[in-house]
Amino acid sequence: MTEETKKKIQLALAVAIVIAGARAGYIIYERHEDYLAELKKIQAKNLGYANPDYYVTPKKLHPYDLNSARELTQQPVWVKEGYRYTYYRYVPVVKKVDFSHEEGTLGPLERLDIKDAIAVAAPGGRKQVVALFEKDGHSYAVPIGFESDGQYKIYSDEMFYIEDPHELYKHWPADVWQAVEQHQVKPGMNELQADFAVGMGIPDPGATTEEKTVRYPNGGKPLVVTYRDGKVAEIRAGT
């Protein structure tokens, strides 16, 4: 066996060990996350939380590369925080994303049917991992992570529900869900329900558990909401 052949075999073994180690690490991480979710349920029961929301533990995919990110295509997804994530026009013919022009932001609880997840060149030199979807007859891409030196960081679990939120939170009253669908914040709603209705919010400094004020961009129709003891107490137009 030549010295060159030995080096090739050693290199192949080293790569195989790295891949196996990464996969094993991911499995351990995934099981740890599942354990934490189950622990959260047990703690909620032991503490006797009256709010059923504490018992809801949405499923996660824990994607770690392109293949695992493509599991997003196996079911619809729902946007967790509306008006936070920017999407761009995707040109299928050349497989490029036009990052120079923002097309919009994903809306509150907007449902998407992801067609694929790919890595594309982006400004700054680092590749972006994007999820592809169609809307109003056009193809779009929303960043869900990045790739650098062969390593992926994918944060789609923080962006999307992979289960229908209407089922996850089916214990909410019908009038709450009606307000959510109409993108309205109503007195008595909790913060998660308001987030579902009008998207991401930015808390004012100095918030306490008894009272906090949150400002919602709300897609260009800003709102200022004051919560007392976790419930909407005041709603006014923002600037």
Q: Please indicate whether residue 25 or residue 63 has the higher confidence score (pLDDT).
A: 63
SS3 content of the chain, % helix, strand, coil (to 5): 35, 30, 35
Residue closest to 195 by CA, chosen among 171, 144, 230? 230
Domain boundary among 144, 163, 182: 163
Question: pLDDT tier at 13 (50, 70, 90 boundaries)?
Answer: low
Same domain, 177 and 233: yes
Q: Is 82 found in the same domain as 109? A: yes
Number of folded domains that form the chain: 3
Mean pLDDT of the region 65-79: 97
Residues 6+ apart with CB under 8 A from 174: none
Domain boundary among 163, 186, 215: 163
Does one domain contain both 66 and 137?
yes
- 148 and 173 both lie in a single domain: no
For residue 230, give the CATH number of its domain. 3.30.1450
pLDDT of residue 117: 98
Residue 8 pLDDT exceeds 70: no
In the predicted model, is pLDDT for residue 71 greater than 60?
A: yes
* 69 confidence band (pLDDT: 50, 70, 90): very high
Q: In this predicted model, what pLDDT tens digit does every residue of 150-173 receive, in sequence order?
A: 899 999 999 999 999 999 999 999
Residue % of the chain over a pLDDT of 90: 72
Residue 16: the pLDDT is: 46
DSSP designation for 222: -
**Domain boundary, last residue among 57, 86, 103:** 57
Do 33 and 45 lie in one domain? The reply is yes
Are 188 and 224 part of one and the same domain?
A: yes
Quote the pLDDT of residue 34.
54
Indicate if 6 and 33 belong to the same structural domain: yes
Co-location of 158 and 175 in the same domain: no
Nearest-angstrom CA–CA distance, 170 and 66: 33
pLDDT of residue 11: 57
Q: Which domain holds residue 136?
A: 61-163
Q: Is the dihedral of CA 156, 160, 164, 169 positive or negative?
A: positive
**Whole-model pTM?**
0.78
Which residues share a beta bridge with 235? 225
Statement to judge: residues 131 and 210 lie in one domain: no
Q: Do residues 81 and 111 both lie within one domain?
A: yes
Give the pLDDT band of residue 207 (cuts 50, 70, 90): confident
